[in-house]
Amino acid sequence: MHLLMIVTAVTVACWLRYSGSIPAGNWRLRWQKTLFLFLFPPLLIFMTATSIVCMGNQGKMGGMYTDSLSYLLALIFLGCFNVLGIKLAFQGWKSIKSARECPQIHLGAKQARLLETKALFAGQIGFWQPELVVSQGLLQTLSPQHLESVLAHEQGHYQYRDTFWFFLLGWMRFCTAWLPNTEPLWQELLVLRELRADNYAASQVDPLVLAESLLLVVSNNPMTSDICCAALGAGDRLEQRIEALLTPPTSTLEAQLQSWHIFLLAFLPMLTVVFHS
């Protein structure tokens, strides 16, 4: 019976990934469906494995005896899930430690860590309370107006706690990389993360200046880890970001972001625990 639960969860997860498609439109509408397609399937599998471990390898469910194989599979999956989480958290901690070794500077009312490199870089590094890291090359190259737009973009990442939430999403990505379309959906989320931060910054500074800053920074930005870093240059769809900044916002009323209630369906496997005896 437990093995049937595993097969059902994996089948539903693969079907959702295969049948789902990322909608066109603004970043808000795309974010809704992309997040669901990326997060719901692995969450369903995780909750199924958790419910099986909670029920154990003895007893009956629905009149059928449970088996040790399904219990062992669920235990291995959860074990790998936790090991990967610890590994990613350790890598993130090393990035934070490295950033904190950089000297601290003041950029107006903001504090930041100074990265001594000629490359143009700005990013938030950390988890729930990330620190702003900027490079010496960025400060020397950008005008005060362009620098202000870059800082506004990074404030958008801080406002949405992107480093923390994308650490958790990245954890899901590594644990279920075998699911269909994991990488395309992940790349779409990264781009949407940047579009969301761009949208926040555009409400604080001139969008044209921000677009100019993007062209300067993204073309010179080094590759960075996305474990606990939300950087200005993340994502490779620069044209899409520039177009979004230069397109006037529509006056039509947009739908609110997807309710988290739909993710409660992923917890349905936990209800099977009450039928175990």
* Domain chopping of the chain, boundaries: 2-275
Q: How far is CA 199 from the centre of its chain?
A: 17
CA–CA distances in Å: residue 232 to residues 25, 65, 73: 22, 54, 40
- Bridge-based pairing state of the strands 104-107 and 122-125: unpaired
- At 115 the three-state DSSP class reads strand
CA–CA distances in Å: residue 183 to residues 186, 234, 236, 254: 5, 15, 14, 28
pTM (two decimals): 0.84
- Summarised one tens digit per residue, pLDDT across range 112-123 is 899 888 888 888
For the chain, 277 residues long, give each residue's pLDDT as a single digit of tens.
677 788 888 999 999 998 877 777 677 778 888 999 999 999 999 998 888 888 776 655 555 556 677 788 888 888 999 999 999 999 989 888 888 888 989 888 888 899 888 888 888 998 988 999 998 988 988 899 999 999 999 999 999 999 999 999 999 999 889 999 999 999 999 989 999 999 899 888 999 998 888 888 776 665 555 666 666 655 457 788 888 888 866 544 344 444 677 888 888 877 776 665 5
The DSSP H or E segment spanning 135 is: strand 131-135
Alpha-carbon distance 167 to 171, whole Å?
6
